[in-house]
Amino acid sequence: MYKIAVAGTGYVGLVAGACFAEVGHHVTCVDIDENKVNIMKSGVSPIYEKGLEELMQKNYAAGKIEFTTDYKSAYKDADAIFIGVGTPEQPDGSANLSYIATVARQIAETIQKDCLVVVKSTVPVGTNDKVEQFIHDFLINDVRVEVASNPEFLAQGSAVRDTLHAERIVIGTESKWAEELLVNIYKPFGLPIVSVNRRSAEMIKYASNDFLALKISYMNDIANLCELVGADIQDVAKGMSYDERIGSKFLNAGIGFGGSCFPKDTKALEYIARQNGYELKTVKAAIDVNKEQKIMLFKKASKRLITFSGLKVAVLGLTFKPGTDDLREAASLDNIPLLLNQGADIYAYDPIGAGNFAEVFPEGKNSKGSITYVEKIEDALDGANVCFIFTEWGEVKSIVPETYKMLMRTPLVYDGRNIYSIEEMKQAGIEYHSVGRKAVDREVMKETKNLELHNS
């Protein structure tokens, strides 16, 4: 087993560190935030990720993982150092590599034995060549150091499972020594390993993520057309899924993709193409479709209602997907400012992400409207004039159609995740709008209301 250091304790670094410890390696996780390190030492994960906290506690108690701000002691005698720091998007779409550069220099000025530096962060093609040269430029001791690429393919909400039971591990190296060391580190996982050169590994990451983003935007584009021609996107997706060339995953239409990967990686690859004098038309189209898709329900509701001013608006789900507290590129971040600017009184529910969202939009008066965070879905729906569903949490999916009818002042629901059956919502007397499916017939709604008045 190997002595491993991990730089960065976000989704990439912390999950990797915990999983390396789980298979038997000794791991030291490094972060510059002392408060964050103390939290992790107490057995608490700074991010919400299923199964992660249990792995941290188990392996910390066994002495297989530790957390520190002291990078010098962590790096000096490590067999391998994995870099998992952020590469945030810059205004022009390029990746900010400053955090990687900082860690690379720390490594160069600290290591005292032969060491493999492994970049797990998503970086533009060719970055690892520069990182290796950068380390050599600042290297103090006479040791062998090489850089390898090892992109991650985890999904937030299932990151631990995706790491321990990955479909494949991609490694990019430039020497037999680096390849053999990295293969041996991953040997305990018992997973298929795809070994390529560094630049191919970097491209595999972008190409994989952007292909999935393309599928999502394509299905959302088709969903919008389905509404216009009277087709049902769920039926269309089902028919497509039987074709093994297409597959069944990432065919669900909705209000666009978010998170830390797809939005950033599509923009970064499009930027790389432009820098090399090439236009990635397909990726650019995916970006454009996704941008419009996020606010399409708001636009629908705006046409239906005169104004949102003074209306109680229920918002169910704030995170970009269920199973995580991550808000990055979430549809709620695009829609809630629009609602607030029109004077809506928002009552928002999210089982995990409300605290994070409140840091961006504090409770109380915001712009022309206001926002209140509630712990129960029923409190959001009670007396609401309209409801938006942005995240398909299990708690939201468990609410039966009749609840909307019973609690809302006006049973008007805009579902961005196609949770409910159109027929069941219609039978419950709800005006229901989803994505890519037939809209509720308002004449049926009028007949239902007239019948209720006649029977009352």
Pair 67, 26: CB distance under 8 Å = no
Give the DSSP letter string of 372-408: EEESSHHHHHTT-SEEEE-S--HHHHTS-HHHHHHH-
Distances (CA, A) of 354 to 227, 320, 323: 32, 12, 13
| β-pair type (364-366, 369-374) | antiparallel
Pair 396, 419: CB distance under 8 Å = yes
Among candidate residues 208, 200, 30, 194, the one with its CA nearest the CA of residue 102: 30
Give the DSSP letter string of 405-447: HHH-SS-EEEETT--S-HHHHHHTT-EEE-SSSPPP-HHHHHH
Q: Could you give the angle at which helices 262-275 and 281-293 cross, rounded to 10 degrees?
A: 140
CB atoms within 10 A of CB 193: 15
CB atoms within 10 A of CB 399: 18
Residue with tokens 């939009």, as numbered in its chain: 361
Distance CA 349, CA 456 (A): 33
- In degrees, rounded to 5, the angle at the alpha carbon of residue 44 between the alpha carbons of residues 160 and 377 is 80
Structure tokens, 372: 């209140």
Contacts of 248 (CB under 8 A, 6+ apart): 241
CB atoms within 10 A of CB 233: 24
Distance CA 338, CA 20 (A): 44
Among candidate residues 295, 302, 236, 291, the one with its CA nearest the CA of residue 416: 295
19, 29, 261, 387: which one is catalytic? 261
User: At residue 145, what are phi and psi to the nearest 5 degrees?
Assistant: -140, 130
Q: Is 29 a catalytic residue?
A: no
Active site (catalytic) residues: 261
